[in-house]
Amino acid sequence: MTDLKVAIAGAGGRMGAANIRAVTATPGLVVHSAFDRPGSPAIGRDAGEVAGIERLGVVIVDDAEAALAGAEAIIDFTVPAVSVLLAERAASLGLVHIIGTTGCSRDEDWAIQKAGSAGARIVKTGNFSLGVNMLAGLVRQVARALPGYDVEILEMHHNKKVDAPSGTALMLGQAAAAGRGVDFDASAVRGRDGHTGPRVPGTIGFAALRGGNVIGDHTVIFAGETERIEITHRAESRAMFAAGAMQAALWAKDQPAGFYDMADVLGVKEQD
């Protein structure tokens, strides 16, 4: 079987570099092309060189359309507006589209899901790591088993991160809401400042810290009257996000067009 030809979106970014290394190291996948935004310092450079590995003979371009020609899959950790446009192109070209981008609005998420029903094979998740996806299952179970406990989610990331709360924190909040059988958007308290009054029972609170080089720490706290459970995940390397994205690409190539998440890829999807 021939290797799946992958176009790397945002090739000059932190995750872009991790994805170039991961594609190169994964049997069954090959870097077909790489692109970034016009003006990015990565444009014109070799993708392998930018990722700190051997030269791949793939020059990073600023023309997404040219990069998609002949590609079979897109690995995309960029920004929401770009992921929406790429999902629409993936639908018309029938491509696998692996999306790690976080911070999408409800409308952007909806447009991406629509691309799944229009012909793309999309896997999108706020976190591609095995550990966080296991943690989400655990959070769902604990939230269901301990309905009276207050749920608070604390996250910390590096000082370049632009969205808050993180995609992973939101994903963990959604897992807690699913465990409780409540609507996530109606329960989420995404920040507190000033005279906020006492905590509203049943809400799911978020706090976001930013600093240094932290790749991603998440703690879900279940606070009861007489005890507190804290479940923590710490990302030690971007390589595990990239490894999950590779696993998703290899899985998605054999699926019908649709919109999937990492629980589908890992076979741990729970029904609501």
Tokens, residue 190: 């995404």
Q: Is 33 among the residues that bind ligand NAD (CB under 6 A)?
A: no
* DSSP-assigned beta bridge partners for residue 218: 155, 233
* Residues flagged as binding site for NADP(+): 37
- Active-site annotation holds for 195: no
* Positions in 59-78 near ligand NAD (CB under 6 A): 64, 77-78
Strand runs labelled E in 1-124: 4-9, 29-35, 60-61, 73-76, 96-99, 121-124
* Residues flagged as binding site for NAD(+): 10-15, 36, 100-102, 125-128
Per CB under 6 A, the list member of 149, 206, 222, 241 interacting with ligand NAD is 241
Tokens, residue 110: 């909806």
- Active-site annotation holds for 218: no
**Nearest-CA neighbor of 22 among 89, 98, 104?**
98
Task: Say if CB 268 and CB 19 are below 8 A apart.
Answer: no
Tokens, residue 116: 């799944």
Q: How far is the CB of 57 from ligand NAD (least distance, A)?
A: 20
In the block, tokens 């409540």 appear at 182
Helix (H, G, I), strand (E, B) or coil at 250: helix
Q: DSSP class of residue 3?
A: P
Closest residue to ligand NAD: CB criterion: 13
* Positions in 75-134 near ligand NAD (CB under 6 A): 77-79, 82, 100-103, 125-128
Burial of 95 (0-12, 13-18, 19+ CB in 10 A): buried
The stretch near ligand NAD (CB under 6 A) out of 8-16, 26-34, 48-56, 264-272 is: 8-16
- Residue 256, preceding peptide bond in cis (omega within 30° of 0): no
Per CB under 6 A, the list member of 15, 172, 175, 243 interacting with ligand NAD is 15
Catalytic residue, chosen from 157, 233, 253, 269, is 157
* Residues flagged as binding site: 10-15, 36-37, 100-102, 125-128, 158, 167-168
Per CB under 6 A, the list member of 10, 48, 116, 173 interacting with ligand NAD is 10
Alpha-carbon gap, residue 194 to 125, rounded angstroms: 33
Q: How far is the CB of 187 from ligand NAD (least distance, A)?
A: 23
Residue ranges that bind ligand NAD, judged by CB under 6 A = 9-10, 12-16, 35-37, 40, 64, 77-79, 82, 100-103, 125-128, 167, 241
Q: Report the catalytic residues.
A: 157, 161
